[in-house]
Every structure is written in structure tokens, then in C-alpha cells.
Chains A and B, each alone.
Chain A
Amino acid sequence: MDVLIYGVINSVVYMLMALGFTLVYGVSRLPNFAHGALYVLTGFLTWTFVNNLNLNYFLSIIITLVIVSLLGAGLYAFVLKRVRGMPVSEIIVSFAIALIILEGLRLQDIGPFKGFIGSSYALPAFIEGTVSIAGVTVDYQRLIIIAVGAVLVVGMWVFTRHQKVGLAFRGMAQDERAAMMLGIDSDRMAVVALAVGSALAGVAAITVYPLGQITAESGYHVLNAALAVCIVGGLGSWMGAILASFIFGFATTAAAFFGAPRYQDVILFALIVLVLIVRPSGLFGRQKELEERV
């Protein structure tokens, strides 16, 4: 029962981390390596608003999400747009931006700028306390994570099927050229996708961070988790990402309960290699196999 409940929770955590990345890649074919950095930035910005400017927690969450999604939009409009279509440059540039954000947060104090090193940073939980489900104690924050994950998945489903922008997203994902012929502005959609994707990274950060510490290193961890989920699920595939995050969530939770938690990385690694050997295109990546893989 422990494994079941915590497995679901960890799976949703993986899903939240990967959702923004899949969305951006699915819509605009841009691998946003700054995803993890935006995640960490959300955590630190919210922390700063709450602790240094003494703002209300929920107000600061909203302000941060707006800032982060604007940042994502700016990332496309000013940087990624110039190198679009050159996959190598896209990766390198977005990764460079991730490095600037992550390592910039770890800088030592230079003048008025204070680096986030030394002491520990943590966001408060939305609701303190625990509840017992079928004999397993779960704190409210973990339940909120599940709720947020469910809301996001359903919301995304409704958004991509019944909203104009969402339908445009799907059109772009399926065939960019045809979508452009039908009057969908590729660049504008990419801006929106990056903004939404960054906001999703921010939502993930805000729901997941209260469980632990905010560290700059977790940016790499989140990016790796997102990449692993997307590779196993098939890049740009929604169903694949959800399924893969459940596989990862349960595998790591089972490892933590039966073996030792430190074997989680080993399992992650073994799973990726296994899936690549058996199904090189990921679990749900069959559709574009010919275009993207040999």
C-alpha cells in the first residue's frame, strides 16, 4: 500500500516536471534545456518574494508565475528564434541560458547581489498536517501535488481539444507546414508554447518544492528527470510522457522501499537503456519514427 500511494505521488511529481518540456517540444520542436533552470528560478523567486519582500504567499506565487512565463516567452522571442531550425544551436543556447540562471543563482555575493548559497531555502507547504489513507500517513502537500497533476492533465486535455490556441498547438505538433498554411503563426505559437511550458515548470516547482530544499543543483536533476521521461515516453508525446512518468515513479518508489533509495539513479539509467534497446523511438514515439530516427 505504501508503494502504491507513494508510487502515484512520485509518478505525478515526475509528470509535473516533464509536462512543460513535452509541451514545448511537441509544439515547436524546441528542446528547452532551460526547463530545469526555470523550475529552480521559480522556487528562488517565490522564496525571495515571501521572505525578503514579505509578500503574501499566494500573491508571490502568482507574480512569480507571470515573471517566469514572460521569461520563457522572452527566451524564444529574443534568443531561440534566431537559431530556430538548427537543433545543435537550439540545445546549446538553451543549455547556456540554463547555466547562466543556475550558476548565476549560486554566485557569491558581488556588491548588492546576494547569491543563494550557504543557508537553506524552503517554501512553506500550502496546508500543513497529515492525513491517513488506508493506513498510510500522507501529508496534505503530497495530496495537493496529485490534485494539481490531475487538474493540469485534464486542463491540458480540454485546452488542446476545445480551445483555439490549444488546437493550434496540436496542429503545429502534427504538421508545422500545414498549420502555417492554415494561418497559424509558427513563431507566435512557439512564444505561447514557451510561456505556457515555463509556467508549467513554475507550477511544478511551487507544488513540489515544499517537500524539500530549494537548491540550484536540483535544476539539473529536474532537467534530467524531464529528459528521461520524454525519451522513454517518446519526445513530444503526451500519453508517452504520462505513462513513462508512472513507470519511473513506481520504479524509484519500489527501489526506495525494498532496496535502498540510493539505487534510484541506477534504476533510472537501466530503464532508459532498456527502453532504447527494445524500442528506440520511446514507448509512444512511433508516429514520427522515420523523420527523427534512423
Chain B
Amino acid sequence: MRTDTGFLRNLGMRRSSSDEWRRERLDRGLKVRTEGLYAVSSWREMLYLVGPRAALIVGLLLLPLVAPNLYWQRVLCVAGAYALLAITFDFLANYVGLVCVGGAFMTGVGGYVSGIFTFYLGFPWPVSMLLGTVLGAALVTLLWLPSLPLRGIYFAILTFMFPFLARGIILALDAFGGTLGLGPVAGPDNIWLENYMVIIVMLVAVFGLRRLVGEDTGIMFLGVKDNDVAVQASGISITRVKAKGLFIGALGGCFAGAYIVHLYNFMGTSLFATDFSILPIAATVMGGSGTLAGPMLGALILTPLSELLRGFGQLRVVLYALVLIGFIMFKPEGILNWLTRKYHQFEQWKKV
């Protein structure tokens, strides 16, 4: 397209001339941006659509190779778990309408369930991680079922309380190791396996959920989010749809929990830590709400940042909080939404 070169040429001329210049911004046609038939009409269009996605996949797969040492590979594992939680939060909040401020509850339940299978029953770790993910998600859905008829703020408040209460209950009953926790939980103990496992699950989650939200089920979720009364009027049970959405979302959160338990070979009440609730939210707001991939990128940026601040104790939590406030107040759309917009735009200087 001519506009590309025009933009570069005009950049140089912009200051040299005394004429009035203004910046012109053009959006690519909607037809080009959609993934319809039109897109496969030329290599150029195909590359335009596939490029960012391929870059994301290749970039993620290269990350463990780029990591300088074992320490940063471990950080990558943790970042992956946070990214999964962030994807879960984004999916639940922006596609199902369930604002879940207690992601730590999912990590806790998933972690404890899978840990119990490995530690007490001696299951091999892949089986218990799978069981922890599925049964944990089912358990989360079951426990949150009474709060599902609630809307917006009410649901958020309840989910906020759950990790604290669950932690209190485990401490009170002295169950599963109580304050001290349980260990060692036999895990994969191979850093490359751990790295690639979480990266692949992350990619499956992002692309799978993006696919899902376009299907009938996903449209129903969106309907519940946007206008639940209309959905109810169509004879569809809202609570059931929400429960389904919650289960799908909780799969991601519970996998993160199960993964963390087998990564650290330890399970304890630290699985209910506030970090697991707040960093994913910060990552979502920073990365771009409603994009699913954005929250993942946000988590991959925020976790190493907070890792650098580990020496300062609680400073990292203050950092997430500041990132949150800053983005919500001054850049509510987030990084990825902004990037997407820019990707679809041309800018050039024009003489008036």
C-alpha cells in the first residue's frame, strides 16, 4: 500500500516545511481485519493475520531457551501459572460476567486436590495434576454455586472472601498439614518439561478460549454478561450457564494451582495467598481486558518485575497495586488493545 511509504517520506518532511501539517489516521477496512474468506485472498493478507499469532507462539516457545539460567526458568514457570490465572480472570470477567476477585481460591483448591492425590494416594504426577484440575474445578464450581445467582459486586465480594475463609478453615481443622503444609509432593523435577508444559497449556487456554467465545456456548456466556434478563426470558437458566462458564474458567485456575504444587513439591496455605488473586487482575488490566492474550502477556511482564523486587519484601504487592491503579485510571484499554488498534491503523502526515 502506498500509505506505508508515504508515512515514512512525510516523517522527514514534516519539520522542514512551513506548511500546516496534520496527522491523518486511517483504519484498515473491517473486511481485512476479520478472519473471513477475504483474508486468504493473498499472501500478504494471510501474513497480516497470521503474523501476530505466529509471533506469539514462536516467542513463547523460545522463552525457555532465551532464559539465562535456571533461576529465570523457574521464574518463567511461576509466570506461566500467573498467566493462566490471568487468562481465567479475563475470561470470567469479560466473557461470562463473573468478576472473580478470589483467584487464589482456585489455585488453593486445585493445588490441594492434586497434592492430596500425589501425596496421600501415591498417584503419578500427570494423573494427579489432571485430577486436580478437573476435580478442583468441579469443587470450585460446587462451592461457588450458592453465590452464582448474585450479580457483579456481590459475586466479587463473596469470591474475595473465599480464599481467606478456606485458609482459616484449613488452619482451624489442622487438615492437610495445617500451618506447616505438606511435602515433598513428587513432581516432574525437570525444568524443561515444566517450562514447556505451562507454555503449551497457556497457548491451548488462550486459543481454545478464543475459539470458545465465538461458538454458541460462548455467545450464551456473553449474553449472560451483557443482558441476563434477556437470556432468562429465552428460557435459559442463567445460573447453569454461569456454572458452566465458571467450570471452564476454573479449569485454568486449578491447573495453575496443581502446577505450582508440583513445581515447588510443596503444598500449604500459601496457595491461598493474595498474590494469586491480585497479580492476575493487575496483569489483565495492564495487558488489556477482554483479549485473553493480553492478560497472559501482562503476567509475563509483571512476574519477572515483581521477582526483581523480591528483596524488598512486600514492595512487589505495592507495585502490582500501583500498576493497577495507573492503568485503570489512565489507560483503561490496556497494552494489547492499544497495540491491536495501532496494528490496524496507518498514520501519515498530510499537508492541509
Report which A residues bind B (CB closer than 8 A).
Answer: 31, 33, 79, 82-83, 87-93, 95-97, 99-100, 103-104, 106-108, 110, 115, 117, 220-221, 224, 227-228, 230-231, 235, 260, 262-266, 268-269, 272-273, 276-277, 280, 292-294
Contact across chains for A83 and B318 when beta carbons are under 8 A apart: no
Contact across chains for A88 and B93 when beta carbons are under 8 A apart: yes
Q: How far is the CB of A141 from chain B (nearest CB, A)?
A: 25
Contact across chains for A93 and B324 when beta carbons are under 8 A apart: yes
Look across to chain B and name the residue whose beta carbon is closest to the beta carbon of A98. Answer: B321
16 additional A-B residue pairs with CB within 8 Å, beyond A269-B169, A280-B146: A79-B325, A88-B152, A91-B99, A93-B328, A96-B321, A99-B278, A106-B313, A117-B313, A230-B157, A264-B168, A265-B165, A266-B173, A272-B158, A293-B150, A294-B228, A294-B229
Interface residues on B, range: 35 or more
Which of A227, A235, A293 has a CB less than 8 Å from the CB of B149?
A: A293
Q: B346 at the A/B interface (Cβ < 8 Å)?
A: no
Contact across chains for A235 and B154 when beta carbons are under 8 A apart: yes
Query: What are 27 A-to-B residue pairs whose CB atoms are below 8 Å?
Result: A79-B325, A79-B329, A87-B152, A88-B156, A91-B153, A95-B160, A96-B278, A96-B328, A97-B325, A100-B321, A103-B315, A106-B313, A106-B314, A108-B313, A108-B314, A220-B164, A227-B161, A231-B154, A231-B157, A264-B168, A269-B169, A272-B161, A292-B151, A292-B152, A293-B151, A294-B228, A294-B232
Look across to chain B and name the residue whose beta carbon is closest to the beta carbon of A274. Answer: B146
Look across to chain A and name the residue whose beta carbon is closest to the beta carbon of B325. Answer: A96
Contact across chains for A108 and B324 when beta carbons are under 8 A apart: no
- Give the most central of A106, A266, A269: most B CB within 10 Å: A269
Contact across chains for B332 and A89 when beta carbons are under 8 A apart: yes
**B296-334 contact mask (Cβ, 8 Å, vs A): 1 or 0:** 000000000000000011110110111011001100100
Q: Which chain A positions have C-beta within 8 A of B274?
A: 99, 220
Q: Which chain B positions have C-beta within 8 A of A103?
A: 314-315, 317-318, 321
Q: Which chain A positions have C-beta within 8 A of B285?
A: 92
What does DSSP make chain B's interface, helix, strand, loop or mixed? helix
Q: B270 at the A/B interface (Cβ < 8 Å)?
A: no
What does DSSP make chain A's interface, helix, strand, loop or mixed? helix
Contact across chains for A277 and B321 when beta carbons are under 8 A apart: no
